[in-house]
Structure 1
Amino acid sequence: MPGCCMTVETLGRRAVRAGRNNHFHLIRLVLASLVIVAHSPELIDGDRSREVLTQIFGTLSCGELAVDGFFLVSGYLITQSWYACPSALAYLRNRVLRIYPGFVVASLLCIFVVGPLATGSSARAVDMSWWAVLRDLLVLRPPVAPGAFAGTPYPVVNGSLWTIALEFGCYMGVLGLGLSGLLQRRRVLVGLALALFALYVLQRCVHVDVPGYWKVQGAIRVGFCFAVGALFYTYRAALPYERRLALGALAGLLAGLTWAPGVELAVALCGGYLLFFVAFMRAPARAGAAAARGWPDISYGVYLYGWPVQKLLILWFAGITPGVLIAASLAGSLVLGFLSWHLVEKPFISLKSRAARGALPAPRDAAVIDTATSK
């Protein structure tokens, strides 16, 4: 079949195996929830004084740990996706259909629904430049709603979406390495990861007082995690996932979390091993059957809507405590994530699956073949 890298039967079998043999949906949902847990006290206080992981270790927050985990998982799965079908057009189509629909809908809702709710004026939406909105959507820039949440800590309509463009940038990096043949060379990936880690250490040693420099720091950090995730895939045959090694990785992660210069190395290597150990743990038969039927992958939607839900709750309920905010915003984000999956993301994923199979109908479980999100 022209333009299709695998037969329908092969894709169907792979989909069922993917659904039964990994827990990436659950892992990403936990990571998205951790971002909400981390943001709750910080969005109330304007600092991390009450953030749990920062209080314990004084290095990373739960949110930073979760974002690192997202990029580790994404590096693994996106590299796997390229190896499964090394076609530039198919790869780009799949990445665009997975990232853009959810992001576009969430951004428009933030601008034209959350913005007016946060400012008390519907005129703000009318005053927005459509060209600016379209430009921001195209380059995956976080939405802008002038005046939203003014006078509160972090007065932006959705501060979590800064990672989405970086995620897509990593996708393009895999495409470039794949087309050049460098993705198959392990030494190149190792060198890239080491270079990014060296840049990360260097930028921590050099204090630059420039507005927005934190974005550069964040890009280096998540790029390093993505590269390590890609290495976990390329070295997958040489990595045994055993309980004793997982316990050692856990000890290494906890030790690394206490030491700022080495925290990212510990998260990427030890934390990465733990993530993939959990991802490939054998599930009980009942759980495997349920996974094969296809659990909704709502983690992307939870991540997209967590921030605006939290900010609105803080605005509407003065004096809300972090605990109550965590519970309420998790509930609201889970509902919105469920709606995002079924109304926006899944329909576009089905388009991707049908395109890969030509005119033939897609197997029911085909959506789990490509499970990579940011998110």
Structure 2
Amino acid sequence: MVGFARLRRGRCMDRREIAKQEQLGAQRFQLKDLLKTRMLGAELDASKGVGPGFDFLRLALAILIFYGHTSLLTVVATPPTFASDLSAATNAGDLVSMTISALKTRGYVLFVPMFFALSGFLVAGSALRLQHVGQFLGFRVLRILPALLVEVTLSALILGAIFTTLPLRDYFTDPQFFRYFGNIVGHITFHLPGVFTSNPKTDYVNGALWTLPPEFFCYLILSALMILGILGRRQIVLVLFVACAIVIVPASLFYGIGITGTFYSTSAIVSYFVAGVLTFLYREKVPLNFGAAIICGLVALAAVPYPRMAFVLVPFLTYLTVWVGLQSWLALPFMKGRDYSYGIYLYNFPICQAIIATIPGISRGQLIVSGLITSLAFAAFSWHFIEKPFLRFKSLLVSDRFKIGRWTRTARTNAAETDKA
């Protein structure tokens, strides 16, 4: 019996050693795979069209944008743009210190453009698969509208009613209260009557909603490309994009056209989205290289203090975004089938404002912890009970498409037979 037990323990040790060696081998393979140049299209095909790091990227960008919001919401003064401050540097030391300060206070400006570049890349694939404008827009509505409608309604009916300084009768009859529901269709209003009037960021209920009009505009552009039959002809899309860049890049660099003091302008946001679309269209020709990604990241960080570099950064940030999304070592198995990024993005701003109003003088560190936990809880609720259930209606749109497709093919066959007759 003793000998049998020793033999059994020995076999268990062997299995553990083998498992350990396999794990080390997998890690070595991942490092080797990281440094190896691959083609974007081949990597995307290998992962069945779903980049293994996209779940991580969406979640990370949403959390980083939340982190940036905590900086905006806990200071009374607007952080400097540094566009003119850097020119006042008298020596290299001043320049370095101002650049580091800009990265700390404005580094978050990179994340929204990255979100739009990622959106362009992913949505282009959806558009090409559907090849039907109605269903494409239907998919976009199902993804965006339900959660947005719930968030806007909760903010107006519950959050506003709790934090308004007005009598409730005055609050619910104020024209500004009704205008707030225009956010659902992209008519952006940041204020609710008497809400958050004492916060450092006065009156703003949900500043994150500013991205909705540019997002809707991006979808309209993509729809137009589909209607005109251009989306499948990538050379034309590339020529149009380059032609626009030849005009807008010098205009933004030398005259500040399209620049708002940050990277946030509709033209800039649309540029990142279209760059993501182009990256998908040319996916089999784009190499994935670790060194190139590092260079793109360094260029992006160096450009943060200079808002006029917004358009110059488009190819760099877009490449970095897609590269991160296709890294297998960033896969989050526990997030498979879950996308909390949209919920975090929608809810983090009003949640932070509510916490600041409830606990005046709260430190930024405390706001980050409490705000992130609460935002994650709301995002999880939004995904499991609102977003995901509505996404099931996609199957109805797809089935309709198949019916239309069969009808079209039958009609064409009948027409051809008629012509032969």
- What band does the TM-score fall into relative to the shorter chain? 0.7 to 0.9
**Aligned AA (1:58):** A
Q: What is aligned with 2:48?
A: 17
Given the alignment, which residue of 44, 69, 76 partners 2:74?
44
Query: Which gives a bigger RCO, structure 1 or 2 (Cα 8 Å, sep 6+)?
Result: 1
| 1:277 alignment partner, one of 323, 328, 333 | 323
Residue equivalent to 1:169: 217
Corresponding residue to 2:248 among 192, 199, 206 = 199
1:239 equivalent in alignment to 2:286:
yes
Match of 2:207 among 155, 159, 164: 159
- Cα distance, 1:117 vs. partner? 2.3
Q: What's the offset of the Cα at 1:164?
A: 1.4
Cα distance 1:57–1:345, how it changes in 2: closer, same or farther (>3 A)? same
Q: How many angstroms apart in 1 are the aligned matches of 2:311 and 2:262?
A: 16
| 2:146 is the counterpart of 1:116 | no
Which residue in the other structure is 1:179 paired with?
Answer: 227
- TM-score where L is the length of structure 1: 0.78
Q: Following superposition of structure 1 onto structure 2, how do residues 200-349 of structure 1 map, counting pairs within 5 Å? A: 202=251, 205-206=254-255, 218-257=265-304, 259-266=306-313, 268-283=314-329, 290=334, 294-349=336-391
Q: Distance in 2 between matches of 1:17 and 1:295?
A: 15
| Equivalent residue in structure 2 for 1:138, among 161, 185, 189 | 185
1:84 aligns with 2:129: yes
CA contact (8 A) 1:203 1:217 kept: no
Structure 2: gaps of 5 or more residues: 1-44, 83-96, 403-421
Counterpart code for 1:308: P
Deviation at 1:355, TM superposition (A): 3.4
CA distance 1:145–1:258, shift in 2 (3 Å): closer
SS for the counterpart of 1:245 is: helix
Q: Is the 8 A contact 1:80 1:233 kept in 2?
A: yes
Partner amino acid, structure 2, of 1:174: L
Alpha-carbon distance between aligned partners in 1 of 2:291 and 2:266, rounded to the nearest angstrom = 33
How many residues of Structure 1 are paired with residues of Structure 2 in the alignment? 336
Residues 186, 212 of structure 2: 8 Å contact kept: no
Q: State how far apart, in whole Å, the 2-side matches of 1:29 and 1:288 are.
A: 10
Residues 259-315 of structure 1, C-alpha deviations (whole Å, 9 max, x = no match): 54335422x22222122112111248xx57656xx3410100100011101111111
Runs of 5+ unmatched residues, structure 1 = 1-13, 361-375
Deviations 1:14-52 (A, max 9, x none): 9x9355x4222221111111111112122121322699x
Query: Percent sequence identity over matched residues?
Result: 26
Amino acid across the alignment from 1:116: A
8 A Cα contact 2:109 2:304, kept in partner: no
TM-score normalised by structure 2 residue count: 0.70
SS, match of residue 319 in structure 1? coil
User: Residues 50, 221 of structure 1: CA spacing in aligned structure 2 closer, same or farther, 3 A cutoff?
Assistant: closer
**Residue deviations 1:31-76, cap 9 Å, x none?**
111111112122121322699x996263782432111011000111
> Residue 197 of structure 1 contacts residue 224 of structure 1 at CA under 8 Å; is this kept in 2?
no
Q: Map 1:47-66 onto structure 2 (within 5 A).
A: 47-48=78-79, 56=100, 58=102, 61-66=106-111
Q: Is the 8 A contact 2:256 2:308 kept in 1?
A: no
The match for 2:28 is none
User: Which residue type is aligned with residue 100 of structure 2?
Assistant: I
Contact 1:58 1:258 in 2 (8 A): yes
The equivalent position to 2:60 in structure 1, one of 26, 30, 41, is: 30
Whole-angstrom distance in 1 between the partners of 2:386 and 2:180: 19
